[in-house]
Amino acid sequence: MDGIRAMDGMRVPIFELEGAGCRFGGTEALAGVQLRIGPGERVALVGQSGAGKSTLLGLLNGSIAPTAGRVRILGQDLRRLGRSRRRRVQRQVGMIYQQLHLTENLRVIHNVNGGRLGHWPLWKAIASLVWPLEVAAAARALERVGIAEKLYERTDRLSGGQQQRVAIARVLVQDPAVILADEPISSLDPTRSRAVMDLLRDLSLETGKTLVASLHDVDFARSHFERLIGLRRGRVVFDRAAAAVDDACLAALYGEDSEAESERAND
């Protein structure tokens, strides 16, 4: 299939994994993952610490290569692409990290503009550090996440919740087809957590962008996402509509007797 046509996301799934696995030395972080995620879907990855959520997000943004099976992002197997076409696909996948990866001693605008770096030539990136470029786009993104007044504030003077919004604004100016978020609320109090989850859900609804997030909080996963994928010890133990996630699913995820429970949850 032609690469450009495949990248518009309408004719092909956003993500397609076939028997995908990932091994780090002796650790099997993921195994046998079979998955399709379509345009506009909101999907939460849930499971205990070490279940493989971050590793799966790494496969989805192409920062981790599968050691087994196949991963297609916007119809493309990154291993078959040259560097520039690989980067073009990866630009369509925005990522909000658990550690926000903000440069704290820079002003907010520079961190937001970080989302444009994949689009900008080097001279522009350097020039913008001295004299910020594309200020209007950055300001619009900050307005959308509710902190318009922080454009020229130093990032380390912002609260944790505000810094999380800067990370979201940075993804907005990148304007990807899909937003991935790795535990976007793990360091926030309950009120800020709800505000950030509402924001991510609303952005996905407004723009039609696919949203895939890992979450420890199953209640937020069920209230803000349409589909939940449960991971345990690197395997998918359920993949179903949020409304259909019941106690048996949660027992498969967190219960003692994982083997028997996961069999039942998959029936």
Ligand X SMILES: Nc1ncnc2c1ncn2[C@@H]1O[C@H](COP(=O)(O)OP(=O)(O)OP(=O)(O)O)[C@@H](O)[C@H]1O
Q: Point out which residues bind Mg ion (CB under 5 A).
A: 53-54
Binding site for ligand X (CB under 6 A): 24, 27, 29, 47, 49-55
Phi, psi of 257 (to 5 degrees): -90, 80
Q: Which is nearer to ligand X, 47 or 66 (CB)?
A: 47
The residue among 54 and 223 lying less far from ligand X, judged by its C-beta, is 54
At its nearest, how many Å lie between Mg ion and the CB of residue 125? 29
Q: Which residue is nearest to Mg ion (CB)?
A: 54
Partner whose footprint covers residue 49, from Mg ion, ligand X, none (CB < 5 to 8 Å by kind)? ligand X
**Least distance in Å: CB of 215 to Mg ion?**
10
Show Cβ contacts of residue 33 under 8 Å, excluding neighbours closer than 6 positions.
17, 19, 20, 21, 56, 59, 69, 235, 236
51 binds, among Mg ion, ligand X, none (CB under 5 to 8 A by kind): ligand X
Instruction: Pick one of ligand X, Mg ion, none as the site partner of residue 152 (Cβ within 5 to 8 A by kind).
Output: none
By C-beta, is 67 or 266 nearer to ligand X?
Answer: 67
Quick one: 141 or 196, whose CB is closer to ligand X? 196
**How many CB atoms lie under 10 A from the CB of residue 266?**
15
Any alpha helices (H) in 27-114, and if so which ranges?
53-61, 83-91, 108-113
Residue 150 touches which of Mg ion, ligand X, none (Cβ within 5-8 Å per kind): none
8 A C-beta contact, residue 180 and residue 57:
yes
Which residue's CB is nearer to Mg ion, number 97 or number 120? Answer: 97
Q: Which residues contact 185 (CB under 8 A, 6 or more apart)?
A: 164, 192, 193, 196, 197, 215, 217, 220
Rounded Cα distance between 88 and 83, Å, is: 9
